[in-house]
Amino acid sequence: MTTPACTSASKAATRAATPTPYPSFSTYVRARGPVLLRTARSLTPNPCDAEDLLQTALAKTYVAWDRIEDHRALDGYVRRALLNTRTSQWRKRKVDEYATDELPEPTPALVTAPAADPAEQQVLRDAMWRAVMKLPDRQRAMLVLRYYEDLSEVQTAEVLGVSVGTVKSAVSRALGKLREDPELAPVR
């Protein structure tokens, strides 16, 4: 009788041979992963943090997979998990950034003419996202859901669990702040 040299390897091989309990979850993640990652990237400025945020939200979704009755509403469930997870992270965060009057590195001025060059378009996109990232988390979430994810005011209110009036006023304030952002002044 022979015993395997590495019992953990044989156990791992046995686990790898067993099918995933929810094959539809894997299909869902493969199909909707890029869209969900885009949503996560709009909720946090760091792309690596966005991947971690999405991974955490998908783990929460996987745990609740058999309790989710309507699998057509999975995007809303995952978006809600993303927002809740991001809010929890934001509340727990350590404040190690300090606001100053002077930026450490000056940002290049944006061009005033419409950008036809892809590099100029990218500069404009980057400036816009920097301005969006300056907004408070709640306003940014509403703005992203409303315009980036193209949800209606009612849908945005449902996803965030707030009233439609709250969405309207917060989006209005966020757009006002974007209009006042000095980095976007040449675009106007």
Helices (H), 98-163: 118-133, 137-143, 153-160
pLDDT value of position 55? 93
pLDDT value of position 166? 93
pLDDT value of position 96? 64
pLDDT value of position 104? 67
Query: Which of 17, 93, 20, 29 lies closest to 60, judged by CA?
Result: 29
Helices (H), 64-180: 74-92, 118-133, 137-143, 153-160, 164-180
Query: Using an 8 Å Cβ cutoff, are 126 and 136 in contact?
Result: no
pLDDT value of position 188? 54
Question: Distance (Å, rounded) from C-alpha 123 to C-alpha 129?
Answer: 10
pLDDT value of position 88? 84
The helix (H) or strand (E) run that includes residue 59 is helix 47-63
Whether pTM > 0.75 for this model: the answer is: no
List average pLDDT for each run of 10 residues in the chain, which is 188 residues long.
46 48 81 90 88 92 86 86 87 69 65 61 84 90 88 90 92 90 72
pLDDT value of position 70? 82
End-to-end CA distance of the chain: 80
pLDDT value of position 16? 45
